[in-house]
């Protein structure tokens, strides 16, 4: 299986259009050693031709331009994307669907019922798309049964319900129900390897830890280094935990969990622009390197 990181940043991207935090300011000014990043999305293929898009980022136009396998190659209107799977109903994971409205047939979209409900009410993207070619919704169940996606040859997908947060426009904000957020295992029958992708992960429950233990590659929530990072930058008094993201540092943080796992590749993704790991000269960046944890970047390719 081939995994390609289209966007490695959290909502807002890096730098964020209106953000003058230490990282954004320095990146814009050319004094930070680090890379710009677009908003949260990856794509995965078993055959190198047909690609499943995981999350449709508002930056998808730029992301498609950066990755020729997704571009039209066979017909006057064409795409390498055979289906879209969204892990939640957040703006950064779904807004790209509007950009993809010119598709010549209904999009095959995989998501849970909770996400479907939000995308037909609070943020009615699917209703909007129904005025174009429409949405062919495939309900992703919460029973952790592996399912195939037509054309995604050789791959099996398992949705893993997990604790994070529902979007602000959801009736389940701060009162989540199973299915508001999932992680996904993608297993390749030919290689026997699997990826576990969870860009929003607020708590590592025992069943989630099992998926992490069994993964050959982890792409997990790297939003913030500390829970109070936004407050420290004077941006917002919201804690990362209030937004469904587990901090990396400290007792019970993501780094501690990753250090306790044998998984061959441990990669953090969905990195917020305030996170000090984005500065490649920071102590926090060095701490991840020291811990054997990789930091996803746009254009990163992973073969499994």
Give the 3-state secondary structure percentages of the chain, helix then strand then coil, rounded to 5: 25, 25, 55
Of the pair 240, 255, the CB lying nearest Mn ion is at 240
Backbone angle region of 279, left / alpha / beta, with phi > 0 → left and psi within -120 to 50 → alpha:
beta
Of the pair 14, 54, the CB lying nearest Zn ion is at 14
Check whether the bond before 132 is cis (ω within 30° of 0). Answer: no
CA-based angle 40:41:44, to the nearest 5? 155
Rounded Cα distance, 296 and 119, in Å: 28
Binding mask 190-209 for ligand MLT (x = CB under 6 A): ----------x---------
Please report where in the chains the tokens 């992708």 appear, as a residue: 197
How far apart are CB 92 and Mn ion at their closest, in Å?
4
Residue 162 contact partner, candidates Mn ion, ligand MLT, Zn ion, none, CB within 5 to 8 A by sort of partner: none
8 Å CB contact between 86 and 111: yes
Residue 91 contact partner, candidates Zn ion, ligand MLT, Mn ion, none, CB within 5 to 8 A by sort of partner: ligand MLT
SS3 category, 22: helix
Rounded Cα distance, 23 and 297, in Å: 16
Q: Does 165 bind Mn ion (CB under 5 A)?
A: no
Contacts with ligand MLT by CB under 6 A: the residue count is 8
- Strands 51-54 and 81-85, by their bridges, are parallel
SS3 category, 64: helix
- Strands 217-221 and 265-269, by their bridges, are parallel
Rounded Cα distance, 36 and 74, in Å: 32
Residue from 9, 24, 111, 182 that binds Zn ion (CB under 5 A)? 24
Segment interacting with ligand MLT, rule: CB under 6 A, options 25-33, 54-62, 87-95, 256-264: 87-95
Two structure tokens written together for 81: 């994307």
Two structure tokens written together for 277: 């790991």
Contacts of ligand MLT in 227-266 (CB under 6 A): 243-244
Binding mask 259-288 for Zn ion (x = CB under 5 A): --------------x---------------
Q: Does 90 bind ligand MLT (CB under 6 A)?
A: yes
Of the pair 58, 161, the CB lying nearest Zn ion is at 58
How far apart are CB 235 and ligand MLT at their closest, in Å?
12
Of the pair 112, 273, the CB lying nearest Zn ion is at 273
Of the pair 23, 158, the CB lying nearest Zn ion is at 23
How far apart are CB 55 and Mn ion at their closest, in Å?
9
Residue from 11, 80, 161, 253 that binds Mn ion (CB under 5 A)? 11
Q: Does 16 bind ligand MLT (CB under 6 A)?
A: no
Of the pair 87, 135, the CB lying nearest ligand MLT is at 87
Residue 236 CA to its chain's centroid (Å): 23
Contacting positions for ligand MLT (CB under 6 A): 10-11, 90-92, 200, 243-244
């Amino acid at each position: 299986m081939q995994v390609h990181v289209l966007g490695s940043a959290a909502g807002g991207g890096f730098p964020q259009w209106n953000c003058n935090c230490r990282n954004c300011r320095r990146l814009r000014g050319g004094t930070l050693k680090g890379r710009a990043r677009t908003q949260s999305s990856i794509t995965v293929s078993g055959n190198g031709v047909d690609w499943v898009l995981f999350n449709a980022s508002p930056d998808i136009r730029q992301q498609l331009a950066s990755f020729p396998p997704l571009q039209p190659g066979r017909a006057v209107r064409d795409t390498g994307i055979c289906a879209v799977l969204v892990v939640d109903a957040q703006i950064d994971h779904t807004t790209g669907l509007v950009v993809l409205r010119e598709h010549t047939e209904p999009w095959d979209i995989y998501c849970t019922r909770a996400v479907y409900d939000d995308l037909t009410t609070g943020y009615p993207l699917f209703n909007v798309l129904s005025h174009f070619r429409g949405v062919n919704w495939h309900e992703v169940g919460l029973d952790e049964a592996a399912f195939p996606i037509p054309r995604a040859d050789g791959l099996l997908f398992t949705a893993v319900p997990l604790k994070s947060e529902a979007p602000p426009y959801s009736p389940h904000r701060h009162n989540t129900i199973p299915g508001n957020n999932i992680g996904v295992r993608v297993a390749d029958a030919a290689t026997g390897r699997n990826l576990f992708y969870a860009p929003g992960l607020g708590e590592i429950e025992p069943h989630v830890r099992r998926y992490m233990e069994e993964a050959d590659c982890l792409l997990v929530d790297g939003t913030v280094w500390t829970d109070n990072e936004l407050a420290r930058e004077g941006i917002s008094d919201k804690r990362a935990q209030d937004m469904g993201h587990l901090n990396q540092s400290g007792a019970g943080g993501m780094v501690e969990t990753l250090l306790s796992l044998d998984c061959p590749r441990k990669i953090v993704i969905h990195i917020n622009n305030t996170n000090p790991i984005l500065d490649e000269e920071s102590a926090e960046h060095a701490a991840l390197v020291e811990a054997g944890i990789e930091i996803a970047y746009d254009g990163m390719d992973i073969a499994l």
